[in-house]
Structure 1
Amino acid sequence: MTQDVEMKEQAAPSNSVSSTGPSALQQLKEIASLIETGAYAREVRRIVRAIRLTIALRQKLKASVLSAFLNFVLVPGSEVHSRLSSYLPKEDEHDMEVDTATSATQAPVKHSLPELEIYCYLLVLIFLIDQKRYNEAKACSSASIARLKNLNRRTIDVLAARLYFYYSLSYELTGDLAEIRGNLLALHRMATLRHDELGQETLLNLLLRNYLHFNLYDQAEKLRSKAPRFEAHSNQQATPIFI
């Protein structure tokens, strides 16, 4: 009986290890698969779900995890891979070993989907803001907006709305909010032409915030009075879930 008790006590640690959930890198890979499925099936709800799943991962977005994810999703040496990787500090040897061990059982699969590319921009931008590297976040957000202007896909609208938010936030954190007012107006017109209602609503809110930040009440009221009224407002705007 004593031996049975000792055996149970020795088995306890192994059980606790096996009950741990998937790593942050593995969860990001699963989110990438969800985005890929949503893009091919043109199901925006899957993209929305991917954003919600990312919320829980925000505290786990380390440089080593993001670097491994970029290597998994993007083609190393490509323009977007080189740009985004340049914002990430080099991971230490311990983190590299952990990431290698985590991804060893699954061979990298390269994707060329714009949705995944924009998602990578979003992840790196969130990481930079959380690390208080605001000038780099501003540069990253500007690059992401330039890329978005060349993409007109409804499955990107949900991701774009988050990038618009962080684009404005990064400029606000660096004290340069006035610089992007004209670009926000241009983006709002673009969203209107593309019938991107979520983008219109998001950019309208950002423009109003921009005007009010500088006490430009007349301009804010003029914009508000001319803004379109949508019959069904998105849940993302009614209850903000920006990550």
Structure 2
Amino acid sequence: MTQDVEMKEQPAPSNSVPSSSPSTLHHLKEIASLIETGAYDREARRILRAIRLTMALRRKLKASVLSSFLSFALTPGSEAFTRLSSYLPKEDENEMEVDTATSTAQPPAKHSLPELEIYCYLLVLIFLIDQKKYDEAKACSSASIARLKNLNRRTLDVLAARLYLYYSLCYELTGTLSEIRSNLLALHRIATLRHDELGQETLLNLLLRNYLHYNLYDQAEKLRSKAPRFEAHSNQQVSHGLLLSFSLNCKFHS
């Protein structure tokens, strides 16, 4: 009997967003908290989990949500905030996603962590690619890589590897993949000096893909023959590397 009464007392669904259903902005703030914890505790696995959670939200990202998140995660008026905001289209105020449940509990960050700043670059870049705004995505990816060069923190390695992938993708989508070959080589040298194995592995695969895209098989084979082997692999990069190696073997020995 008690159960029947409780079921009858449940409120009827309305057209407004129910408070029991966390908004996309709310989820992004939780992810930001996860990244901050990972950065302070130096636990890359937390940041990796943050990326996976972000991919699950990918289809829900809107310009209004990202604008609100940038205001939360970055210092308003900062170089990163101004740059990233410029890539987002302006939307009607009525479409802005309001997150009153967490706005008072989680004030905007005063001094953003580098990990959180790079995460914001990644978010905006994903959004631009999905919106097929490839020229803007290309500019955003180049800006993110320039920023990464000045940051040497192992807790950034997971985020950096993902940015390298999208950086290469943006130039491939705009038909300008050859423009970044020398930069990929430079990034690979930087990753080697910093003992960033995930970055080295990711950039090696991107370089091989770059060479194969332009049928530069001799250069690709030379690069692969000198490449080190890593013990701590990313499953995604292992699969990608094996596919590229197979393709190179077929082309080089045909």
TM over 0.5: yes
Deviation at 1:13, TM superposition (A): 2.8
CA distance in 2, matches of 1:145, 1:12: 49
Counterpart of 1:124, as a letter, is V
Distance 1:239 1:105 in 2: 44
Matches within 5 A, 1:81-230: 81-96=81-96, 98-99=97-98, 101=100, 103-110=102-109, 111-230=111-230
Q: Distance in 2 between matches of 1:70 and 1:35?
A: 15
Distance 1:123 1:40, change over 3 A: same
Distance 1:106 1:22 in 2: 14
Deviation at 1:12, TM superposition (A): 4.3
| Unmatched 5+ stretches in structure 1 | none
Matched residue pairs, number?
234
Aligned residue runs from structure 1 range 2-151, under 5 A: 8=8, 11-13=11-13, 20-96=20-96, 98-99=97-98, 101=100, 103-110=102-109, 111-151=111-151
Name the TM-score, length of structure 2 as normaliser. 0.86
Distance of 2:108 and 2:195 partners within structure 1: 33
**1:27 alignment partner AA:** H
Q: How big is the shift at 1:95?
A: 1.9
SS at 2:98 equivalent: helix
Post-superposition offset of 1:235 = 3.0
Note if contact 1:64-1:99 (Cα within 8 Å) is conserved in structure 2. no
> Secondary structure at the residue paired with 1:67?
helix
> What SS is found at the alignment partner of 1:38?
helix
Give yes or no for contact 1:34–1:46 (8 Å, CA) kept in 2. Answer: yes
Contact 2:158 2:198 in 1 (8 A): yes
- For residues 88-127 of structure 1, what are the alpha-carbon distances to aligned partners after superposition, in whole Å with 9 as ceiling and x for unaligned? 011212122x326465443523142000000000000000
Q: CA deviation at 1:39?
A: 0.2
Q: Write the letter of the residue equivalent to 1:166.
A: Y
Q: Which amino acid aligns with 2:108?
A: V
CA–CA distance in structure 2, aligned partners of residues 95 and 107 of structure 1: 22
Given that residues 38 and 47 in structure 1 are in contact (C-alpha distance below 8 angstroms), is that contact kept between their aligned partners in structure 2?
Answer: yes
Contact 2:197–2:232 (CA under 8 A) maintained in structure 1? no
Higher relative contact order (CA 8 A, sep 6+): 1
What is the TM-score with the length of structure 1 in the denominator? 0.89
What is the root-mean-square deviation of aligned Cα atoms in Å?
2.2
* Structure 1 pair 195–203 and aligned structure 2 pair: CA distance change class (3 A): same
- Kept in 2: contact 1:185–1:207 (CA 8 A): yes
Identity %: 81
Mapped contact 2:34–2:50 kept (Cα < 8 A): yes
What is the deviation of 1:27?
Answer: 0.3
Matched residue type, 1:174:
T
> Which runs of 5 or more structure 2 residues have no equivalent in the other structure?
241-254
CA distance in 2, matches of 1:237, 1:24: 29
- Does the aligned pair in 2 maintain the 1:73–1:108 contact within 8 Å? no
89 and 179 in structure 1: CA distance in 2 versus 1, 3 angstrom threshold:
same
Equivalent residue letter for 2:105: Q
